Structure 1
Amino acid sequence: MPHTIVTETCEGIADCVDACPVACIHPGPGKNMKGTDWYWIDFTTCIDCGICLQVCPIEGAIVPEERPDLQKTPE
């Protein structure tokens, strides 16, 4: 099951982007409610390796399940 970046918790640090072995993490458009950049995970590409969860310094920004209700996914 893919992981999810919680849009409103993400602070746009992007350690996850560099760490992802399948390049499934992308920048979101604009800013989130905190006023920071944010990223999203492509659920169809994510291989559920958990590296993003391990490297993210923001507690609660990534959850180890597919939660489209917590992640704004651009169309």
Structure 2
Amino acid sequence: MSHTIVTEKCIGVAECVSACPVACIHQGQGQNSINTNWYWIDFSACIDCSICIQVCPTQGAILDKEEPSLQKTSQ
């Protein structure tokens, strides 16, 4: 099971990108509904290490489960 970045809660700090040991977090295109940059997790590459959750300053922006309906991707 993968983790999920909730697109509409992500504020684009991107601490998760540099902390991810498998580089599965990518920047989305454009801005989300709160006018910030946003990121998404490649579910097939995520190893469920939870480092992204630990470094994210935004409560509830990253979930410890796979919820495709809450995360946009650039695909």
Number of residue pairs matched?
A: 75
Structure 2 residue ranges without an equivalent (≥5): none
TM-score, length-scaled by structure 1 = 0.98
Aligned twin of 1:26:
26
**Which structure 1 segments of 5+ residues have no match?**
none
Question: Could you tell me which residue of structure 1 aligns to residue 50 of structure 2?
Answer: 50
> Residue in 1 aligned with 2:68?
68
Whichever structure has more helix as a proportion of its residues is 2
Superposed CA offset, 1:25-56 (max 9, x none): 00000000000000000000000000000100
- Structure 1 stretches (4+) deviating beyond 6 angstroms? none
